[in-house]
Amino acid sequence: MQFTPEKYSIPDEPMKPFIDPDEILNYLSKATSTKEKVQEIIAKSLSKKRLNLEEVATLINTNEPELIEEIKNGARNLKKNIYGNRIVLFAPLYIGNKCSNNCTYCGFRSSNFAATRMTLDDKQIFEEIESLEDSGQKRLILVYGEHEQYSPEFIANSVRVAYSVKKGNGEIRRVNINAAPLEIEGFKIIKEAGIGTFQIFQETYFQEAYKTYHIRGRKADFNYRLTSLDRAQEAGIDDVGIGALFGLYDWRFDVMALVRHTNHLEACYNVGPHTISFPRIKDASMLNLGSKYFVNDDDFTKLIAILRLAVPYTGMILTAREPAHLRNEILQYGVSQIDGGTKIELGSYTKTDEKNQDLHKGQFRINDDRSLNEIIDELIEQKMLPSFCTSCYRMGRTGEHFMEFSIPGFIKRFCTPNAILTLAEYLCDYAPQQTADKGWALIEKELHALDDEKIKQTIRERLELIKHGKRDIYF
């Protein structure tokens, strides 16, 4: 992957802030969009070159409907040609919602006395995970409020409990984390427990706006949060996830800043973020927030397509905050991971007959409460390949940011075969007959499309092993 960085007003140094708002605003005010420029930028991205801030600003400033279509088509082609049709599935598990911060947009904020506070103990975590395994989940993200109780040791313990639960053929093979920023020592303790990605969202990168949402508590320190994933890197966590909460400030600024953050991590650690998240504000318990910066569906779709083109190698996560119809549409513009069967009320996975309902028990309202199987079934219908693959991090293939993207044949050699094998496990162990039939037909089609006969043969042999009860085979 070729990337020629621009010169920034604040040079990138590890653990030093890197956002200059004037610089970003300047790019946005100067960039003009013409048909030729937009097409050139899309072509650059399709040839696997990262976009610089000026180019991203040009795409952002594109308002002609036909050109926006070209951007979306570019993102669709990039996804199709480079990533194929795999969608990785995971589930969030909220461990505790006590919080000493008071983020005005969040149902867990300390001043919200309507919130029902709860922290799962080991037994409850165990039971929640048994339920998750019973539905076929293999990958989790554990989520925590920011509270003194949720120390690095506490978080590491919950990760270990998660990995220890084995029910039937069920097991959790990758645990990611979304929790408050830590010191380097804290990150090290959590790394020891064997985590995948550590996610921290900056919420908004525009400090003046950030201040108004985070008035007190640890999170009020903008730069401490901004540099948190540098500390994670220093602690040896080379798999980090960035994100912005869209609706807090002008989306154009935050898209630029996400790309700037990516450049910073590349410049300092030679590895960009493993994932980018782009949650939009949803209703929450006692939410009272101005809607000035809320992002409509059209802009949301556009910004996702722009991010796909700007950072072609990075995983992109679209959560159940968004409704099913929008997720189905947006998937094609470059999303690589979605959650399925999501429940965000504390302790709710064991209550198998209840859907999310009580806003005071969760962080916000989700808008897609389809079961994991419903999602898998619909993905298969759409000719997408559901995947529970956890191979790369277990094989030590982490860090190198352009791995999937730039090693020739990587997707065909590893990703597609592992998606097929993990889907096959799901079909054997958890799928109702109707989904299983469709799933096996899709697997046949995928095998047919592979051109390497040797890989095809090996996958076929492994599928036989899976049908005979062997589990957790990967490339």
Binding site for ligand SAM (CB under 6 A): 105-106, 143, 145-146, 178-180, 200-201, 203, 245, 279, 281-282, 284, 321, 363-364
Among 188, 219, 264, 327, binds ligand SF4 (CB under 6 A): 219
Give the residue with the Cβ less far from ligand SF4, 89 or 180.
180
In sequence order, what are the residues at sequence separation of 6 or more whose Cβ sits closer than 8 angstroms to the Cβ of residue 34?
Answer: none
Give the residue with the Cβ less far from ligand SAM, 52 or 285.
285
Q: Which positions from 327 to 366 touch ligand SF4 by CB under 6 A, shown as an x/- string? A: ----------------------------------------
Q: Using CA atoms, how far apart are residues 34 and 62, in angstroms rounded to an integer?
A: 8
Interaction of residue 101 with ligand SF4, rule CB under 6 A: yes
Contact of residue 309 among ligand SF4, ligand SAM, none (CB under 5-8 Å per partner type) = none
Structure tokens at 25: 């605003």
Which residues, 80 to 99, sit near ligand SF4 by CB under 6 A?
A: 99
Using the contact rule CB under 6 A, the part of the chain among 100-108, 293-301, 350-358, 463-471 near ligand SF4 is 100-108
Smallest distance from ligand SAM to CB 450, Å: 38
Give the residue with the Cβ less far from ligand SAM, 91 or 389.
91
Give the residue with the Cβ less far from ligand SAM, 188 or 225.
225
- Three-state SS at 385: strand
What distance lies between CA 138 and its chain's CA centroid? 15
Smallest distance from ligand SAM to CB 390, Å: 22
Contact of residue 109 among ligand SAM, ligand SF4, none (CB under 5-8 Å per partner type) = ligand SF4
Smallest distance from ligand SF4 to CB 108, Å: 4
Give the residue with the Cβ less far from ligand SAM, 157 or 406.
157
Q: Would you give the DSSP letter of residue 322?
A: S
Contact of residue 142 among ligand SF4, ligand SAM, none (CB under 5-8 Å per partner type) = none
367, 346 in Cβ contact below 8 A? no
Half-sphere exposure of 370 (CA within 13 A, CB side): 21
Contact of residue 389 among ligand SAM, ligand SF4, none (CB under 5-8 Å per partner type) = none
Smallest distance from ligand SF4 to CB 289, Å: 13
Smallest distance from ligand SF4 to CB 200, Å: 10
Smallest distance from ligand SAM to CB 101, Å: 7
Indicate the burial class of 466 (C-beta count within 10 angstroms; 0-12, 13-18, 19 or more): buried
Contact of residue 312 among ligand SF4, ligand SAM, none (CB under 5-8 Å per partner type) = none
Helices (H), 204-280: 207-213, 222-226, 228-234, 251-269
Interaction of residue 417 with ligand SF4, rule CB under 6 A: no
Among 108, 206, 300, 440, binds ligand SF4 (CB under 6 A): 108
Q: Using CA atoms, how far apart are residues 19 and 110, in angstroms rounded to an integer?
A: 28
What distance lies between CA 407 and its chain's CA centroid? 22
Interaction of residue 106 with ligand SF4, rule CB under 6 A: yes
Smallest distance from ligand SAM to CB 277, Å: 8
Give the residue with the Cβ less far from ligand SAM, 182 or 385.
182
Structure tokens at 240: 């980090």
Contact of residue 251 among ligand SAM, ligand SF4, none (CB under 5-8 Å per partner type) = none
Helix, strand and coil content of the chain, in percent to the nearest 5, comes to 45, 10, 40
Give the residue among 148, 167, 150, 153 at the shortest CA–CA distance from 94.
150
User: Between vectors from CA 240 to CA 401 and to CA 112, what angle results, nearest 5°?
Assistant: 155
Interaction of residue 145 with ligand SF4, rule CB under 6 A: yes
Neighbour-count burial for 30-48, b at 16+ CB within 10 Å, e otherwise: ebebeeebbeebbebbbeb
- Three-state SS at 280: strand
Pairing of strands 385-387, 86-96: parallel
Q: Report the first-to-last Cα separation within the chain, whole angstroms.
A: 24
User: Between vectors from CA 208 to CA 261 and to CA 288, what angle results, nearest 5°?
Assistant: 105
Give the residue with the Cβ less far from ligand SAM, 252 or 321.
321
Smallest distance from ligand SAM to CB 335, Å: 17
In sequence order, what are the residues at sequence separation of 6 or more whose Cβ sits closer than 8 angstroms to the Cβ of residue 177?
Answer: 141, 142, 144, 155, 159, 190, 195, 197, 198, 199
Contact of residue 201 among ligand SAM, ligand SF4, none (CB under 5-8 Å per partner type) = ligand SAM
Q: Using CA atoms, how far apart are residues 132 and 140, in angstroms rounded to an integer?
A: 9
Residues that bind ligand SF4 (CB under 6 A): 99, 101, 103, 106, 108-109, 145-146, 219
